[in-house]
Structure 1
Amino acid sequence: MNLKRQILEGEGVKLDFKKTITSCEKIAKTMVSFANNIGGRLLIGVLDDGTIKGVKDETEERYMITRAAHFFCRPALDPIFEEIYYDDKTVLMVDIPESTEKPHYSLAEDGKWWVYIRVKDKSVLASKVVVDVLRRGADEKGVLIEYSSKEKALLEHLDKKERITVKEFCALLNIGRRRAQRILVDLVLSGVLAVHTTEKEEFYTAM
């Protein structure tokens, strides 16, 4: 693997740089966001700006990541380790494959378990809709949609406005948030809608 080339690509959906691992909670958050998405890679011993510092104690880094993966992620994760040597420095590469047991939760410092997904180079808290999509999508069962007036009204709205949020959907049809979320989950799983998550908002578009 060409380490420099990969670093030049920068952090993103599938890549994260860490100088060192200091918190099981924080690294667990990153790992579950990879597992809940399309997988990803950690480069330990690399600064945010891409500078290769190397790790001081590769064994300690492995221990922290393994501990986080097994005790701070639920279901537990199995990271894949590889050492890369560059100019007398050691970079620890950690691969987190996409999971077949979604959603994965990470244990936060407040003692609560949360689901995260990867958005660009950030690990973002997943919404209720996204968590349900991850959970039901892992079941590998088809979703049968019966188009009522509500689904039709939503699709007609998207023909004109192109996008909609949960709040806007609730207001459009004068329905509660839970019911709106159930409809959106079904439509996402059936391939009718796409969900878009950013750091500031979440919205839906027609496929």
Structure 2
Amino acid sequence: MIDFKRSTLELIEMGEGLTVEFKRTIDSPFKIARTLASFANTSGGVLLVGIADNRSTVGIKSELRELQKLERACGELVEKELLVRCKTVMLGMSKILRIEIDESEEKPHYAINEKGDRIIYVRARDKSVPTNRLMLPGEGDAATDKLLASRPVKNLLNHLKHHDSITEKDFSNLINVSVKRATRLLHDLTERGIILKRGSGKGALYSLKLVK
């Protein structure tokens, strides 16, 4: 979870990741909507506008234009509507927008794309990735809810937010059980549509289930 007490300079030094993203400018309200929704659906985060991917400070030219596009993203292009905290930070002579998004208690939030499609996005490392379903306690049957609330599954989903995939052996090490037991749990989660299996045998990989 993001520590909002960190200074903007500390966040820039950390670099982009699960809870931090840089943008030179808000070039598209649709793209920013994806970022905002993915932060809200995962662990919260900070979006810094006026910072390049290489961490250099480029600043923003028009605060009003950036805020107008941000307002459209929050108010029109994310469902349910998101409330974000936005403040201006001066780094030398450059003006930066710091946008903070809490992990939402009302997830999932959908980002609306240019075609009008409603898509759920989550964070995976430093990217906002689409998923066809965000499984939440209380949403499925009793057995699925019990699985989602278990520590092994929570550890797995947290791992997959940081990494693209996991093997059966790595999962067994992650939750400290036998490979056989870990494999059985992964298969159960796959059958319930919570994760996606790619490949077969010992080379099988499991990842968040993405939209094709």
**Considering the TM-score relative to the shorter chain, is it more than 0.5?**
yes
CA distance in 2, matches of 1:60, 1:120: 29
What's the secondary structure of 1:162's corresponding residue?
A: helix
1:95/1:161 CA distance change after superposition, 3 Å: same
Question: What count of residue pairs does the alignment treat as equivalent?
Answer: 165
Q: Tell whether 2:114 aligns with 1:109.
A: yes
**SS where residue 192 of structure 2 aligns?**
helix
Contact 1:36 1:134 in 2 (8 A): no
Q: C-alpha distance in 2, partners of 1:30/1:94?
A: 11
1:136 partner SS: coil
**Number of the residue aligned with 2:182:** 162
Aligned to 1:85: 90
1:10 aligns with 2:15: yes
1:136 corresponds, among 139, 142, 147, to 139
Code of the aligned partner of 2:115? D
Aligned counterparts of 2:135 and 2:9: Cα–Cα separation in 1: 38
State whether structure 2 residue 195 is matched by structure 1 residue 181: no
Give CA deviations for 1:103-153 in whole Å, capped at 9, x if unaligned. Answer: 00000122200000001100011243xx2327739xxxx9468xxxxxxxx
Cα separation, 1, equivalents of 2:75 and 2:112: 11
Q: Which residue is 2:159 aligned to? A: none
Change in 2 beyond 3 A, CA 1:158/1:23: farther
2:55 alignment partner in structure 1: 50
Contact 2:122–2:129 (8 Å) recurs in 1: yes
Output the CA distance in 1 between the equivalents of 2:30 and 2:70.
Answer: 10
- 1:181 maps to a residue whose letter is R
Alpha-carbon distance in structure 2 between the residues aligned to 1:24 and 1:54: 18
Offset, 1:201:
5.1
Checking the alignment, whether the CA contact within 8 Å between 1:103 and 1:135 is kept in structure 2 is no
Q: Which runs of 5+ in 1 are unaligned?
A: 146-156, 171-176, 185-194
Secondary structure at the counterpart of residue 139 of structure 2:
helix
Distance between the aligned counterparts of 2:48 and 2:93, measured in 1?
16
